[in-house]
Amino acid sequence: MHPAPSVIIFTTLSGLGFGLLAWLGLGFPEVTGWVAFTFFVIAYALAVGGLVSSTFHLGHPERALLAFTQWRSSWLSREGVVSVAALVVMALYGAGLVFWGESWRLLGVIGAALSLGTVFCTAMIYAQMSTVPRWKTWLTPLLFLMLSISGGALLAGQIKAAMLLLPLAAAAQVLWWMRGDGAFEQSGTTLATATGLGGGKVRSFEPPHTGNNYLLREFAYQVGRKHATKLRSIAMLLGFVLPFSLLIMPFAHVLALVAVVSHLAGVAASRWLFFAEAEHVVGLYYGKR
């Protein structure tokens, strides 16, 4: 897949934003007044900013509202419905903390569940795509949720939780890469199966197009092995190793900020690879697989 900046921004920021909202909904940290207001502003800036950025990847952004109508069959539509519900519920819960110093616990738990439900729906948009074997695995929603929860713990200042969750998220990331590297071959998808012309070796007589086109730009993107290895190392170092190393040092707000920024950069690198390394079966028609 072509790693469009809007999609990378969306999946990175919204995951962290809804992760922070989930922690706030569960009462971590226990804040009220202006401190609570600050946390909610950060969470909503990330969550809403990510959701808004996703509309720039739509062919017709003006039709974005139509995505809410297909919730029975579309994970994209479910993501939209659940995300709006999460934002509304958490806004009410946040209002209680900010204006009245009241923690409406049940409302917060519901909002936390909806926030993580949004991340799950986002992951399932990709995990249900049989045309991209690398994505079609239960490890995809696990990875999205682990990154959201661990990043949310960092933003919420939950140091002990973050020190436990960051290594687990790193393990999920490594498992996802290991499984994904052989997913296309293990799927058994070939030009013969893709065309339905089984019973022998099938090859393309000539490419469908002589020049670049939408399918090549969006679905046949290729990233070099050396480049991918380097970016994976950067993602692991910035996303997990450096933040964890900073957390074991004596607490300082500057170090905490660096840990958050580092984690954000690492997750962004991971997300770029998520799309760049995706091997869509349409690439078979162009000799890209």
The model's pLDDT over 67-126, given as tens digits with 9 standing for 90+, comes to 677 788 899 899 999 999 999 999 999 999 999 999 999 999 999 999 999 999 999 999
Give CA–CA dist 277/269, Å, rounded.
12
Residues ≥6 apart with Cβ < 8 Å to 116: 18, 19, 22, 145, 148, 149
Give CA–CA dist 236/180, Å, rounded.
16
Q: What is the mean pLDDT of residues 210-223?
A: 63
User: What would the pLDDT profile of 1-38 be if each residue is shown by its tens digit?
Assistant: 556 777 888 789 999 999 999 999 999 999 999 999 99
Closest CA to 3 of 289, 230, 173, 221: 221
Give CA–CA dist 260/84, Å, rounded.
26
Give CA–CA dist 159/251, Å, rounded.
9
What are the angstrom distances between the C-alpha of 201 and each of 128, 179, 190? Answer: 29, 27, 9
